[in-house]
Amino acid sequence: MRMRFSSSLFQALPALLAAASLAWAQAPLQPQKLAPYVTSPQPIVEKMLELARLKSGETLYDLGCGDGRILLSAARNFGARAYGVELSPTLVKRAQQMVESQGLQDQVKILQGDMMQIDVSAANVVALYLMTDANAQLRPKLERELKPGARVVSLEFKIKGWKPARVEKVEAHRHPYTIYVYELPQK
């Protein structure tokens, strides 16, 4: 037996295909896990913020904030406002508990979600501990959104194509770390 399209279905086919492809194009992309969870040792956190020249009253974003340690230090020790975004709900919960136990709710806000989807234009400093490919993926977003003079501090991994303003090698727990600081040009 031969299959036949009914003529009305056949006529409706282009419209059905167009609707299907529009729905596909509008479907939210799955967030991509850009780095595994590894914490920055606390002495390194302090050094990163110092090298980024984070000042009281400034705003820091940590993209992939893990347990929130960079946010806590930025708020507690540098007097900054700190925003974190993290993919893992478990880590967000842990970070939020730390924020509350230290009474820093007014200064620190944490969002569960994809770093590629949040607007970082309010940042004076962006902290990264990701990977080379992740930094390369983020670079156009940072160039588009960050204001002149903003700093990006990246632990261990360079941002390819950018020239660091400062690079420092620091040891913590008998392990050498490299910190890269980038400054967006003043216009």
DSSP 135: H
Stretch that binds ligand SAM, among 21-29, 50-58, 110-118, 141-149 (CB under 6 A): 110-118
What's the CA gap between 141 and 123, in Å, rounded?
A: 13
Check binding of 179 to ligand SAM (CB under 6 A).
no
Check binding of 70 to ligand SAM (CB under 6 A).
yes
Q: State how beta strands 151-155 and 81-86 pair.
A: unpaired
SS3 call for 5: coil
Q: What's the min distance (Å) between Cβ of 62 and ligand SAM?
A: 5
Check binding of 88 to ligand SAM (CB under 6 A).
yes
Check binding of 65 to ligand SAM (CB under 6 A).
yes
Sign of CA dihedral 141, 29, 135, 49: positive
Q: What's the min distance (Å) between Cβ of 21 and ligand SAM?
A: 26
Q: How far is CA 16 from CA 3, 7, 23, in A?
A: 20, 14, 11
Using CB under 6 A, which of 47, 49, 54, 69 touches ligand SAM?
69
Give burial (CB, 10 Å; 0-12/13-18/19+) of 15: exposed
Contact 110, 136 (CB under 8 A): no
Q: What's the min distance (Å) between Cβ of 37 and ligand SAM?
A: 4
The smaller minimum CB distance to ligand SAM, of residues 87 and 146, is found at 87
Check binding of 39 to ligand SAM (CB under 6 A).
yes
Check binding of 42 to ligand SAM (CB under 6 A).
no
Count of positions (residues) in the chain:
187
Residues that bind ligand SAM (CB under 6 A): 31-35, 37-40, 62, 64-66, 69-70, 85-88, 91, 114-116, 129-130
